[in-house]
Amino acid sequence: MAAAGALERSFVELSGAERERPRHFREFTVCSIGTANAVTGAVKYSESAGGFYYVESGKLFSVTRNRFIHWKTSGDTLELMEESLDINLLNNAVRLKFQNCSVLPGGVYVSETQNHVIILMLTNQTVHRLLLPHPSRMYRSELIVESHMQSIFTDIGKVDFTDPCNYQLIPAVPGISPNSTASTAWLSSDGEALFALPCASGGIFVLKLPPYDIPGMVSVVELKQSSVMQRLLTGWMPTAIRGDQSPSDRPLSLAVHCVEHDAFIFALCQDHKLRMWSYKEQMCLMVADMLEYVPVKKDLRLTAGTGHKLRLAYSPAMGLYLGIYMHAPKRGQFCIFQLVSTEGNRYSLDHISSLFTSQETLIDFALTSTDIWALWHDAENQTVVKYINFEHNVAGQWNPVFMQPLPEEEIVIRDDQDPR
């Protein structure tokens, strides 16, 4: 009955107030020192978008109730918007243009601390940390009675985007994969900002900015394979001696899960394998072949993976879930796993379910501890959003999400209508 009930459920998109009138974007140029000689427009990336909701967005008397941030990237431009379903936020839309750089697709990561909202951004040449006041520090009343409130972006004009504490050129070190768009970023428990990028050699390049309020040096670490013997005995370990690494080991999609005093970096690679690294130990803790879960895998094993995607979801009660999308010509497959830890710092994957798709083209997806939410293009190139419960849906039936149509660019006003 639970599965049958899930099939009848659907969602309807709520139109935000901003969709009913043109947004006013305040525009700022992020001057990237040292990139003036770059060839503008040489790198073409696809557009991307994402969102973030506050931890207390579901609490009735929280200043962040029903409040969220969303963004989209295109070329050298990042548009950031803060929205509320309850009140009007002032100065809530900004447009950042990164001079001589292109924003990586998905290269925007938002975190909140007690005092700040921190936005980590990656371009093809730079990394940035944007420090903004947390709404709870801007407004301390327990009961919101005003209909208007300042957004966290109100004072963004005071930010020095070239402050070396919060901005860094990606070093021109050998091995960084120049054409890859994969990335991930996170805040450590000590307040450091870390940015991970794939290496052409198959490892992972991690750049670390010190905490914003503590002087320190920028550091760089490459997680890479050691000798074949060490790999057989202990997994992948960092070493000054580069080992034999096939280009097919290159990560296609990266994700990170933070644990106490460490971060697990997950890499879904061209050889169809999932690798899990410990940043603290700088060691690969697990390698899993995703083709073991694909029914028709002979053709895939002979070719490098393209279009594979990786997403994570954490539940305090159930632990860490991994959502893997395996792309193949004319078909695709979602594999859902749960991370299992055993004694001796050993990890494995518990396969929860597999879901097959063949009708639409996947653009992106998000994972929760119960559902997959996916954005598709159908045969008519129309945008479609669907979701599915990955554990209690034997029939594999996706549920629709009814989207509101975008407002018309020109509004026709009849003679009997008031323009207001």
- Do the beta carbons of residue 250 and residue 303 sit within 8 Å? no
Domain end residue (candidates: 120, 152, 170): 170
Pull the structure tokens for residue 46. 């696809």
* 224: CB partners within 8 A, 6+ apart: 175, 199, 201, 202, 203, 204, 236, 238, 239, 242, 243, 245
Residue 378: the pLDDT is 87
**Which helix or strand (DSSP H or E) is residue 375 part of?**
strand 371-377
* pLDDT mean over 112-140: 92
DSSP state at residue 404? P
Backbone torsion region of residue 235, taken as left when φ is above 0, otherwise alpha when ψ lies between -120 and 50, otherwise beta: left
In this structure, the answer to whether residues 187 and 213 fall within a common structural domain is: yes
Owning domain of residue 367: 307-405
Region of poorest pLDDT, from 42-46, 186-190, 195-199, 219-223 = 42-46
CA angle 408, 373, 337 (to 5 degrees): 165
Helix (H, G, I), strand (E, B) or coil at 136: helix
Residue 10 lies in a domain: no
In this structure, the answer to whether residues 185 and 165 fall within a common structural domain is: no
Residue 5 lies in a domain: no
In this structure, the answer to whether residues 118 and 84 fall within a common structural domain is: yes
Domain end residue (candidates: 142, 170, 198): 170
Of the candidates 106, 84, 79, the residue with the CA atom closest to the CA atom of residue 94: 79
Domain count, the chain: 3
In this structure, the answer to whether residues 50 and 78 fall within a common structural domain is: yes
Phi, psi of 67 (to 5 degrees): -125, 140
In this structure, the answer to whether residues 239 and 313 fall within a common structural domain is: no
Of the candidates 222, 253, 223, the residue with the CA atom closest to the CA atom of residue 105: 253
Domain end residue (candidates: 144, 170, 196): 170
Residue 275 lies in a domain: yes
Residue 259 lies in a domain: yes
Which residue has better confidence, 51 or 243?
A: 51
In this structure, the answer to whether residues 250 and 321 fall within a common structural domain is: no
Residue 47: the pLDDT is 93
* 291: CB partners within 8 A, 6+ apart: 272, 297, 300, 301
Q: pLDDT by residue (tens digit) across 305-327?
A: 788 999 999 999 999 999 999 98
